[in-house]
Amino acid sequence: MEKQTHDYDMVKHTLAFISENWREQPSLDTLADQAGLSPTHLQRLFTRWAGLSPKAFLQAVTIDHARGLLRDSASILDASYELGLSGPGRLHDLFVTHEGMSPGTYKAHGRGLNIQYGFHDCPFGRALILITSEGLAGLAFADHGKEKSALADMTSRWPEATYVENQQATAAYARRIFESERWQPDQPLRIVFIGSDFEIRVWETLLRIPFGKASTYSDIACHIGKPKAARAVGSAVGKNPISFVVPCHRVLEKSGGLGGYHWGLTRKRAILGWEAGAMAA
C-alpha cells in the first residue's frame, strides 16, 4: 500500500508539472529528472496510473489550450474587420502597416528586387530577416547550424531577386520585432507582401487575428469570401513569408489541433506559449 501511495504521488506530481509547464513542451527526460526516476520507469508508471503516456498527456493539455484559443474565433475576425488594424481594441500587437508588391514583380519571381538579409538570435532560435527598400519582406526561423537551409528556402521563393547580406540593416528590424517595448502604434512596422493576389488576401486576414487568440482555416476562407477554399487557404498560410509578424502560428485546426507549421510544431508551440506568457504578465 505504501508503494502504491508513493507511485500515485509521483504520477500526480508529474501531471501537475506537465499542466504547469506545457508551454515549454518538456521532454520525457526532463519529466523523469524532475520526478527522480529513469525515463523508462516514469513511462511505465505514468502509463499504468494515468492510462496514457506522458507525451500523450502533454499533447492533450496542449490541444485543450488550443481549443481555448479558438473560442469565438469567427467573432474575433468579425470584430477586427469592423474595427480595422488600428482600431481602439489594439487588435494588432505589432502595429503593422503593409502593402503588396506589384503583381509583375511576383510573376517575375522577384526579378529586379534587391533584398538584404541577416541572421539574429531571438526567443525562437535563429531569425532570418529579409528586407527591401520598402520594408520587411521575410522572416524565417532556423535552428543553430541550419541557417543555410533556411536561407535557401526563402531565396527559392523569389529566385530572380538579388540578395546581399547586411546584418547591420536587418538588426534594427530584429529589435523592432522581438522587443515588445518597441511595439509603438505611432511607429508602425512596415511590411511588404510578395505573393499572389489570393495569398496576400489570406496574409492580410492573418494580421487581424489578435494576440493571444487563434482562428481556423475555414474561418479565414469564409472571411475572404471563399468558404469552400479552406485547403487553398491552408496552402497560402503555409507559404506565409513573414512568420511571427504575420501570425500564421495562430491558425489551428477546427478540432483544436495545432495543424502544421512551416518552421516546426515545436516552434509553433513555443510561440503560442510565449504569447500566453506575455498576456499573463
Question: Smallest Cα–Cα separation from 190: which of 249, 102, 244, 131?
Answer: 131
The angle formed by the CA atoms of residues 194, 128 and 190, to the nearest 5 degrees, is 45
Task: Kindly list the domain boundaries of the chain, sorted by start residue.
Answer: 2-64, 71-280
Spatial separation of the C-alpha atoms in residues 160 and 162, rounded to whole Å: 7
pLDDT truncated to tens, each residue of the chain (281 aa)? 455 556 767 877 888 888 788 877 888 999 999 889 999 998 988 887 766 788 877 877 777 676 666 666 666 666 655 544 333 333 345 567 777 777 788 888 999 999 999 999 988 889 999 999 999 999 999 988 999 999 999 999 999 999 999 999 999 999 999 887 777 777 788 899 999 889 999 999 998 888 878 899 999 999 889 999 999 999 999 999 999 999 999 998 888 788 889 998 888 888 887 777 666 55
The catalytic position among 248, 270, 271, 272 is: 248
In one-letter notation, the amino acid at residue 218 is S
Spatial separation of the C-alpha atoms in residues 109 and 238, rounded to whole Å: 18
The angle formed by the CA atoms of residues 180, 256 and 252, to the nearest 5 degrees, is 50
pLDDT digits (tens, 9 = 90+) for 238-250: 999 999 999 999 9
Same fold for the pair 2-64 and 71-280? yes
SS (H, E, C) 72-109: CHHHHHHHHHHHCCCCCCCCCCCCEEEEECCHHHHHCC
Give the N- to C-terminal CA distance of the chain in Å, as an integer. 43
Mention every residue, 6+ apart, whose C-beta is less than 8 A from residue 201.
Answer: 224
Domain at 2-64: CATH architecture: Orthogonal Bundle (1.10)
Radius of gyration of the chain (CA): 21
pLDDT digits (tens, 9 = 90+) for 16-25: 888 788 877 8
Spatial separation of the C-alpha atoms in residues 265 and 277, rounded to whole Å: 18
Active site residue 122: no
- The topology (CATH level 3) of 71-280 is Arc Repressor Mutant, subunit A (1.10.10)
Contact 136/129 with Cβ under 8 angstroms? yes
Spatial separation of the C-alpha atoms in residues 217 and 252, rounded to whole Å: 7
pTM value is: 0.72
The b/e string for 149-186 (b: 16+ C-beta within 10 A; e otherwise) is: ebbebbbebbeebebeeeeeebeebbebbbeeeebeee
Question: Smallest Cα–Cα separation from 163: which of 219, 222, 109?
Answer: 109
pLDDT value of residue 280: 58
